[in-house]
Amino acid sequence: MEVVDYCMRKITWLIQTPRDVFRTQTTFHKSGQDIVRELDTASRADELRRQWLELEFRVSVQCVTILRYICERVHLLSLNLLSRVLDKHDALLSFVALLENPPWTFKAPDNTWKKFDHQKWTQVAPCDLLQITTTEAQPWIALYFLVCSKAARDQYQLTCFRKNQVLRVRKYLNDVILDQLPLLADVQRFLDELAIVQLNPNAVSAAAKLVMEVVPVIRTALVREYRAQYTQLGAAYLDACASINRQDDMKTLADVYNMDGLDDLLDSAGGATSFPTDQNQPNQTPPVKRSPLSVNLVISNHDHHHMQKIIALDDSNCDSVEQCVICDVVLSSETVVDTTDGKYFRYALQRRRAVDSTMLQDHEPHQQDVDSVVVATHAHVHATVAFDDNQMPPIHLANPDVNLPVDMISNNQKSIAKPVVWRQVGILDQGQGVVQMQLKLLDTNRW
């Protein structure tokens, strides 16, 4: 929600800023001599405003792309966020305004054209004026998802004013644009249907469909906290700028480009690369090795896509969908594995018992032991690794979807050895370690 509000603030600024401001107060459309002359005569305040305008323009154009990505996934947005995009900000009419008066095209007095694409202004030949750039395509694609997706059309309430504003883009839909963006044919069809729809001219937008609405809090909290401190913050920033020592910066750059010792680094005598050892650093404290003690695996056999939403409290057919597997770490099986990311220790696990999670909640895990654990095809596995040192916090790992294969054996292959697959809990790149599980196929689609 904060991202949507930020993007809409930038797009609103982009729409309301006159185009002459970018022509006269920035260096976007000026030659080299004009830029040098302006930099020599401009005051510090004018220079800061010029840099702010250029930076704000580039950021605002990128915000159009970000909002297009959000509109592309409008069917996945929550009702609160969808209502904010369509009702609160009316992003559809904002895109219409950008299509009518695009800020990323510029016509010079000598009748030459420029387009802003890939964060730079480039001159366009007259024969390529109708060729859509990446920047120009963003509002068209966003318009397509907002008017053609069912989720947006159900939420967006058309009034007579909105209808007239949306129909203003019909004149820009020609065969050249449709050849480059074929999906706009659906937009053209929607606009043709909208043109013959009769709306009540006295109709107004209905009340919000949300009784309780989530509002952004980050920006509001920051503004409320620092509103009375703008002067002090500005003075502190000026003091920090005045205390900058350019000599220290130059010394740092000189150290970066220092070539001393480069020959020793590139020396390949002996055919091996040597690394410094701990003997050269006697004052360095060696890292303390902490051994894992146990691993708890919680296997949730929820089917998140088809899970029953309402369960009766007295439903006796509601089976436990979570199982807990408790494993002890066999410290004697420690092996060291050297990888490109560093050194890792590998341990074997010995399963202690497997119990239902409901029994763990009753604090009576000794009542029933489960010899085998049945894992669903798309089960969620959460692992907790405990250590022998209380100062070492436990490590939490997760695999949101084991994604086990289905239909691996047929009826005439029941006597053959059952297939075995390995699944991993956690990601090794995160540097916390992983837990590997071996799963055997019991029968058809049962692991």
Judge whether residue 124 has pLDDT over 50: yes
Rounded distance between C-alpha atoms, residue 84 and residue 8, angstroms: 10
pLDDT category of residue 446 using cuts at 50, 70 and 90: confident
Which pLDDT band holds residue 264 (cuts at 50, 70, 90)? low
Question: Tokens 């949730």 — which residue?
Answer: 300
Residues 159, 199 contacting (CB under 8 angstroms): yes
- What pLDDT does 444 receive? 65
Asked if the model's pLDDT at residue 309 lies above 70, the reply is: no
Q: What is the pLDDT of residue 271?
A: 41
The predicted structure's pLDDT at residue 56? 96
CB 173 within 8 A of CB 184: yes
Give the pair of three-digit tokens for residue 43: 């005051």
Q: 289 to each of 275, 385, 388, 421, 438, how far by Cα in Å?
A: 22, 15, 11, 32, 27
pTM: 0.56
Query: For residues 110 and 290, which has the higher predicted lDDT (pLDDT)?
Result: 110
Residue 293 scores a pLDDT above 50: yes
What is the tens place of the pLDDT at every residue in 189-224? 999 999 998 887 766 555 556 567 788 889 999 999
- Banded pLDDT at 109 (limits 50, 70, 90): confident
Percentage of the chain modeled with pLDDT above 90? 36
Picking from 14-23, 32-41, 105-114, 119-128, which range would have the lowest pLDDT averaged per residue? Answer: 32-41
Residues with Cβ within 8 Å of 143's Cβ and at least 6 positions away in sequence, in order, are 92, 95, 96, 99, 169, 187
* Residue, of 306 and 77, whose pLDDT is higher: 77
CB atoms under 10 Å from CB of 44, counted, come to: 7
- Say what the pLDDT of residue 272 is: 41
Interatomic CA distance for residues 368 and 354, integer angstroms:
9
| Res 268 pLDDT > 50 | no
Residue 275 pLDDT grade (very low, low, confident, very high; cuts 50, 70, 90): very low
Higher pLDDT, 205 or 112: 112
State which of 300-314, 361-375, 386-400 shows the largest mean pLDDT. Answer: 386-400
Return d(Cα 162, Cα 169) in angstroms, integer: 12
Segment 79-101 shows an average pLDDT of 94
Q: Taking residues 98-108, what's their average pLDDT?
A: 93
**Better pLDDT: 147 or 314:** 147
Computed over every residue of the chain, the mean pLDDT equals 79
* Average pLDDT of the segment spanning 51-66: 96
* Location of structure tokens 């597997």: 325
pLDDT of residue 164 exceeding 90, the answer is yes
Q: Where do the domains of the chain lie?
A: 2-195, 292-303+320-440
Selected residue with higher pLDDT from 291 and 134: 134
CA distances from 111 to 123, 127, 347, 403 (A): 11, 13, 73, 60
Tens digits of per-residue pLDDT, 315-354?
Answer: 444 344 678 888 888 888 888 877 666 677 888 888 875 5
Write out pLDDT tens, residues 400-413.
Answer: 887 887 765 544 45
368 has a pLDDT exceeding 50:
no
Residue 57 confidence (pLDDT): 96
